[in-house]
Chains A and B, each alone.
Chain A
Amino acid sequence: MNIFKVARSIVTGMGITLKYFLNHKKTLCTIQYPREKDLIPARHRGIHYLETEKCVMCWKCSDICPVDCIYIEGVRGADGPLPGGYRGQKATLSKFTVDYTVCIFCGLCEEPCPPKCIWLGPEFDYHSTDRTMMEKNLLTDEVYTESDEVFVEWARGENDRLQEEKKKKKEAEKAAKAAEKAAAAAAEAEKTTEEAPADAGEQGPDSEGEAAE
């Protein structure tokens, strides 16, 4: 190749870099990150936020999640029978976490939410030296810690107990009704001398349940 052509191209290239070197104040395109921060656009998909008071605990977000990283536990129901739980709309939540070792920030969880209460916010620098610390508790906006786990464990038990109680209550009611019926039937049976069918068929749990995950 022509040596002068090469030389000319080299000089052209060096001219460009020199131009940048001399105008470096004008051409500067970086910022000093921790002190200056770039504008985060409104649609930025960062760390999740949850407006707990709106949540209806429908599991739509955890269902749509392609990597299944949203964990929800709690009790459904308008009165919120779980003491110490986080009150949502028609639900009391004990756990609503996102595991950021798994999350891929696709934003699919935002869309199906009926009250639009879960959204990905502008925060992106979630960091930790420990993998177990990468789970965020959306109810408190903090890291999901062991004490949270203790509460969730307790709530799980409490939930079971409440359901059990409810069931028992219902059963008792049913039994009472059945007994009443039986009594009535017995009263009738006395006439017909037939045994009353004592059936306390179990009714499915109506609206409360434990988070599937």
Chain B
Amino acid sequence: MARLEIGQIIAVLKEKLPEAVSEEVLDGVDPVIVVKAEQWAAVAELCRDDSRLGFDLLSCITGVDYPEREEGAEIEVIYNLDSTANLHELTVKVKLPRSDPRVASVEGTWATADWHERETYDLVGVIFEGHHNLVRILCADDWVGHPLRKDYEPPDSFHGIKNVIY
């Protein structure tokens, strides 16, 4: 149980799942690894269960929409993992196509992913496969569109309530 550097973390991941990590961005402000969408569930399990990694806390799930990017990787889902015992952290990205953003749900791995994934679905429109109750959480159930998509246009009215723009 010790704090690992990002290189060591990647090494552990590659040792177990050599194919999973598709990209490593280590020169940014935070080091980021990009994981293939279809491998993400396995990576998540590994991150939590491997005692060297011990990422037991999922801090945050962020969905970002980049409509100008190349086809097939416009939507990024970013997972911020944290270890309460080892005190290291990891940022994992999954890139998804904008037309059909689907990624495996990790609510079985971290229970907190339940609400975070619902929120990301609600606001960015990422579909988390295997989530037991993927419905809107912050917006109303019958809201149309995903507000944090860059091409989102707010409706003029909602159930007769006018959208007043100051």
Contact = CB atoms under 8 A, between A and B. Distances in A.
Contacts of A68: 166
A99 interface: yes
Interface string B128-166: 000000000000000000000000000000000000001
Chain A interface main SS type: loop
5 contacts: A67-B166, A68-B166, A69-B166, A99-B166, A102-B166
Interface residues of A, number: 5
A69 B166 CA distance: 7
Interface in A43-101: 67-69, 99
Interface string A139-162: 000000000000000000000000
Nearest to B166: A102
A142 to B, nearest CB: 21
A68 B164 CA distance: 13
Nearest to A102: B166
Nearest to B165: A68
Contacts of B166: 67-69, 99, 102
Nearest to A101: B166
A102 B166 CA distance: 8
A144 B92 CA distance: 53
B121 to A, nearest CB: 28
Contacts of A102: 166
Nearest to A71: B166
A102 B164 CA distance: 11
